Structure 1
Amino acid sequence: MTLTRREVLVALAAAGAGLATGCSGDDTGPGPATDPTSAPPRSASPSASPSPLRDPTRLRVAGVIAEGLTVPWGVVFLRDGSALVTERDTARVLRVRDGGATTVGEVPGVDTDSGEGGLMGLVVHPDGDAVIAFLTSPEDNRIVRMSYDGRRLGRPKVLVGDIPRAFNHNGGRLAIGPDGMLYASTGDAGARERAQDVDAISGKILRMTLDGRAAEDNPFDNRVWSYGHRNVEGLAFDTEGRLWAAEFGDQQTDELNLIERGANYGWPQTEGPTDAEGITGPKAWWSTDDASPAGVGIAHGTAYVAALRGRCVWAVPLSGEDAGRPRRRLASEDLGRVRNAVPAPDGSLWVTTSNTDGRGDPRSGDDRILRVTVG
């Protein structure tokens, strides 16, 4: 009998984390115990610069935007304030407004029974007439472009293919930078040593033009922008154009990293804070019990890091190139696993749950997109 992806994940979760502490993606192995309201020792940098909000780390659930979804993964806002949302396990793209969601397309060629792969990251082309998505096909992970006329998606055209895929560690996040370039995260796909090979595409953050070609000023004359990554599922730019990434650790430490051109982030040689020569360490970090960080959004001088295993949003004040003490927010059994935290045009956050992904405990209404007020 062939098991589906969800049946395998449920079986693994039921068997306990001790079976695979070194290779899981969303739920990694146990790390040191921590205070449930704060992070373990991390960067000792100062708090964020002054904000018009009284406390940008204070979050409150204000309502439900949409419910009954299946692993909502990528969220990108349109000019009218609505958003396009990918469902990882159905290959659907939804247009979501307050009060509901409608399907604008089901992307063909997506392997929806591929472990942590499926239909993942999404960005809207600056021209507004297309979207770019990161997906898992039966053969590989790939980045595709699809036309979008405001009602329906067109057929996918491959921009980048042959990105290694695996049951775990597929990366999948996309972002368009202030330089107009497309950034993408790729996981190590279980072949950890590839993360240190700058000629390999896995275990990296990539930088390319919007048609998938390597940017001319990249450090290694290919698409690679930074390397030594295990599994980055969160990418976001701050107001000064700095790129931040949330990364799954292995058995000890999850990370929030400031991404620099050509930098080595250590995997698999290091995990978490390090003094190793030639390695760039994280700006903030957590035990793997407290985070398993997925999406990250930046607004109000704060990085909002969605935590799957931590079942919360970590609010991390930013000050220039430094990160202050993370604050644990929205921790609730009713919320469960949190997949993404995306700043909305009105100053709120759209926070997505991930309880239908095979590792959670779905409740009535899951999965949901919640409107969360800040301050």
Structure 2
Amino acid sequence: MRTPRATTLTAAVSAALAAALVACSAAPENSGSTARPGGTTTGQGASTPAPLPGQTQAVPGTPRTLVSDLSVPWAIGFLPDGDALVTERDSARLLLVKPNGQARTIGTIEGVSPSGEGGLLGVAVSPKYTSDRYVFVYFSAEGDNRVVRYRYDGRLSDPVAIVTGIPRGSIHNGGRLAFGPDGYLYVATGETGERPLSQDTNSLAGKILRMTVDGKPAPGNPFGNLVWSYGHRNVQGLAWDSGGRMYATEFGQNTYDEINRIEKGHNYGWPEVEGMGRDRRYTNPLLTWTTDEASPSGLAYADGSLWAAALRGQRLWRIPLSAEGTVGRPVALYTGEFGRLRAVTTAPDGSLWIGTSNKDGRGSPRPGDDRILVLTP
């Protein structure tokens, strides 16, 4: 959900932005304004990244439908054998989906209170699953958001709430879970529309959290608590590249959505900055889009690129990365073909599994929605 901007662009900046958008309109694979530090400024908060040297990646084929007739699939997490766990936001069902398309419900998560943007959200599988059998879900309960650990060995058992008290609201609940290369669990939260919470390092809202499988602060956290980074508005995508660098998607307000390189203890500026800023206290994004072409949710890394699922933008963005983590010019794929895209996750075989979100109250459901798509990069 987007709310009125706190500040207004000057007439000069508005004109510059409009000119930039017109200039880019002839390039459908990179329409609108994008950004990275050191790019050519096209307006307050925006710049245009150049293509990476040798950026000639072929356009992948059309995704195939693996599963249809789902209800707001929100997240996808893979078991070691290639089967996937899929959450449904509003039904609170946790599904097991096989690579051959067979799907069944393995449980309905107790305590989920779906409303607004809340419900059953993220899911993650322990990197030591073969020995501990842990799976984790993030959901909105009646009074908070929380992370709950289960054992899964053909059935769900032994639920343990490892983190409670994450602020929840009708909007901006974050919800993505992912294990990093360091073996710790990362949790993305939103600021629930209460902007000051993002800058409060004692609050769990508007943050990326880092923790052990027991919900304790991971060793080396910068503030002695669960907080890893702060100044976020609403993060719903987490990914790491082959060099171990961490990235996150960020919903902007009315002007700029972002991809950020996430680093320990950094402040990403919300609500003081949206998009690129000039204040050294805040870390600038690697890349920005206008909100009508992105509203980025899920994020994955595969085949040398980041892949971002766009809700309002109704497309899949491929963002090439150099070996040093520099972003190249983004390419928009499948614009409007599948509607709103929420989840994108790399499968053990290197394919991308993509979840649509056309039944979330903001889309236009089509026959067969919602669905899981499979794409070979």
Structures share fold, TM-score greater than 0.5? yes
CA drift at 1:289: 0.8
Aligned to 2:29: 37
Which structure 2 residues correspond to residues 119-130 of structure 1 after superposition, within 5 A? 119-128=120-129, 129-130=133-134
2:326 alignment partner, one of 295, 313, 322 = 322
CA drift at 1:155: 4.6
Question: What whole-Å deviation, never above 9, does each CA across 1:15-42 have from its counterpart, x for those lacking one?
Answer: xx8xx5559xxxxxxx965634215141
Aligned to 2:81: 80
Q: Does 2:230 match 1:227?
A: yes
CA drift at 1:88: 0.8
Aligned to 2:92: 91
Q: Which amino acid aligns with 1:187?
A: G
CA contact (8 A) 1:48 1:302 kept: no
CA drift at 1:46: 5.9
Aligned to 2:118: 117
* Identity within the alignment, %: 48
Say which SS state the counterpart of residue 104 (structure 1) adopts.
strand
1:105 alignment partner, one of 88, 104, 107 = 107
Question: What whole-Å deviation, never above 9, does each CA across 1:106-142 have from its counterpart, x for those lacking one?
Answer: 1000012x21111111111223212011110001000
Aligned to 2:167: 164
Aligned to 1:268: 271
Aligned to 1:337: 340
Q: Unmatched 5+ residue regions in structure 2?
A: 7-16, 40-48
Aligned to 2:45: none
Q: Does 2:149 match 1:145?
A: yes
1:280 alignment partner, one of 279, 283, 301 = 283
CA drift at 1:49: 7.9
CA drift at 1:197: 1.0
| TM-score, with length taken from structure 1 | 0.87
The count of residues paired between Structure 1 and Structure 2 equals 344
Q: Which amino acid aligns with 2:105?
A: T
CA distance in 1, matches of 2:85, 2:50: 36
CA drift at 1:369: 0.6
Say which SS state the counterpart of residue 196 (structure 2) adopts.
helix
CA distance in 2, matches of 1:123, 1:48: 32
CA distance in 1, matches of 2:119, 2:85: 16
CA contact (8 A) 1:194 1:202 kept: yes
Question: What whole-Å deviation, never above 9, does each CA across 1:201-234 have from its counterpart, x for those lacking one?
Answer: 1110011111100112111111111000000000
Relative to structure 1, the CA distance from residue 50 to residue 120 in structure 2 (aligned partners, 3 Å threshold; closer, same or farther) is farther
Q: Give structure 1 regions of 4+ aligned residues with deviation exceeding 6 angstroms.
A: none
CA distance in 2, matches of 1:66, 1:261: 38
Aligned to 1:133: 137
Say which SS state the counterpart of residue 61 (structure 2) adopts.
strand
| TM-score, with length taken from structure 2 | 0.87
CA drift at 1:156: 2.4
Q: Which amino acid aligns with 2:135?
A: V
CA distance in 1, matches of 2:290, 2:117: 21
CA distance in 1, matches of 2:353, 2:127: 21
Which structure 2 residues correspond to residues 10-25 of structure 1 after superposition, within 5 A? 20-21=3-4
Q: Which amino acid aligns with 1:205?
A: I
Aligned to 1:8: none
Q: Which amino acid aligns with 1:70?
A: S
CA distance in 1, matches of 2:88, 2:34: 35
